[in-house]
Amino acid sequence: MGTSRRYLLAGAGGALALGACGGAERPGRPRPGRGRADASQLNRVLAYENTAVAAYELGAQLVRARELGAWEAIADQEREHARRLTALVRDLGFRPARPRLPDEYERSFPLLRTPADALRFASDLEERIVRAYLEALASMRDPELRRLATAIAVNEAEHMVLLSELRGEEPAPDAFVTGTT
Amino acid sequence: VSSLRSRRELLLAGATLPLAAGVGPALAGAQRGDAAIVTAALALERRAAITYEQMLAEKLIEPGLGETLRDHERLHAEGLVRALEGLGRPAPRDPGRPADVPGLTRALAAGRRAAARFALGLERRLLVGYLDAQRELRDPDLLLPLASIATSEGQHLALLRGELGLDPIPYAFELGRR
């Protein structure tokens, strides 16, 4: 396989940098102050979700048949997160971070050749997404958004369990699940 | 489970807990509210730790899983005790006995599945509490540490659902629903 964890994370970072470029204020519907801060945080995690959707779509061609059910279930939930966050940013009067083209994501990802590559990349992404949600909490002004963001972070932590089990690793090694930066 | 590991994990979770000394009246009021939230979570964490301990003792859960879940709940409780201390509040006495956990004795007597379902219910209640805390906490330094416990409880939910043969991830938005 040959792809190191650091390389995988570097690839994810490139994809996230691409994804985070969207999210400007939508002309004619500005919501200054409180809404702007929340929209900015939502767009940040939306960029991660868009990246995850692309990663799971790409990885679906690699994982084994016995892994595909869990893989697709996780992918569906990432799509749900992205849809919800997109709607929330729009409701605040801002332009949601848009997903890039699949080719753009693929170029920014590490080389994924085997089921193990796909599973490891997905695990690393989930950890980064959990961290992104947790870091966003302190900057979110709307308490209901903090609650929703935590509910999504919890779901991402659940994904980490499934992916660890598929990888034959300890599914819940930490009592405090903070993700990684 | 070493308290050293617990301290390290809480630090990793980003806990920078406030000191009670020298705070103004408004902050002191906020701390009272935050302390009530943390105290309620602590009581439930202790119940969960006792539950897993009893499930292990009565061989109603696979040992590796039961020990992981019990140890996690103990670490959460230790972290919450320190959070309370940081808020200038003493931690309530550890209940320490299965009789202090309403419904536990009956669930254990009903067997392995009933015990797992009971634990699942406790985990859901814990999660709901931590989610509500994100809405109610006044001290921003408590948000990340408590959220990092919520994510752990989510992992427990997935594991317990798996044990029960249920879909481990039924909800994209994990709100502690049945």
**Over the stretch A18-59, which tens digit does the pLDDT of each residue have?**
444 334 444 345 455 669 999 999 999 999 999 999 999 999
CB–CB of A146 and B134 under 8 A?
A: yes
pLDDT in tens, B114-167: 999 999 999 999 999 999 999 999 999 999 999 999 999 999 999 999 999 999
| pLDDT mean over A70-88 | 98
Residues B87-118 pLDDT 10s: 999 988 776 789 889 999 999 999 999 999 99
Residue B2 structure tokens? 């070493």
- pTM score > 0.90 for this model? no
Give dist(CA B24, CA B60) in Å, integer.
50
pLDDT in tens, B48-58: 999 999 999 99
pLDDT of B30 reads: 66
As for the ipTM of the complex, it is 0.86
Task: Provide, as residue numbers in chain A, all residues whose Cβ is less than 8 Å from the Cβ of B75.
Answer: 175-176
Q: Are B144 and A134 in contact (CB under 8 A)?
A: yes
Mutate to test the interface with B, among A158, A166, A170 (most CBs of B within 10 A): A158
Size of chain B, expressed as the number of residues it contains: 178
Report pLDDT for B64. Answer: 98
Closest-CA residue of A relative to B14 is: A178
Cβ B151–A151 below 8 Å, yes or no?
Answer: no
What does the alpha-carbon distance between residue B137 and residue B174 come to, in Å, rounded to a whole number? 20
Contacts of A172 in chain B (CB under 8 A): 68, 72, 152, 155-156, 159
Contact A172 B75 (CB under 8 A): no
Q: Cβ(A84)–Cβ(A32) under 8 Å?
A: no
Per CB-CB distance under 8 Å, the chain A contacts of B132 are 147
Which class for A77: exposed (0-12), middle (13-18), buried (19 or more C-beta within 10 A)?
buried
Could you tell me how many CB contacts below 8 A there are between chain A and chain B? 131
What is the reported pLDDT for A2? Answer: 34
For residue B94, the model assigns a pLDDT of 72
**CB-CB under 8 Å, A158 with B154:** yes
- Helix, strand, coil abundance in chain A, percent, nearest 5: 65, 0, 30
Rounded to an integer, what is the distance from CA A51 to the centroid of its chain? 6
A180: pLDDT confidence band, cut at 50, 70 and 90?
confident
Q: What angle do CA A43, A48, A50 make, to 5 degrees?
A: 90
Helices B25-57 and B63-86, packing angle to 10 deg = 160
**B134–A147 CB contact, under 8 Å:** yes
- Which pLDDT score is estimated for B13? 52
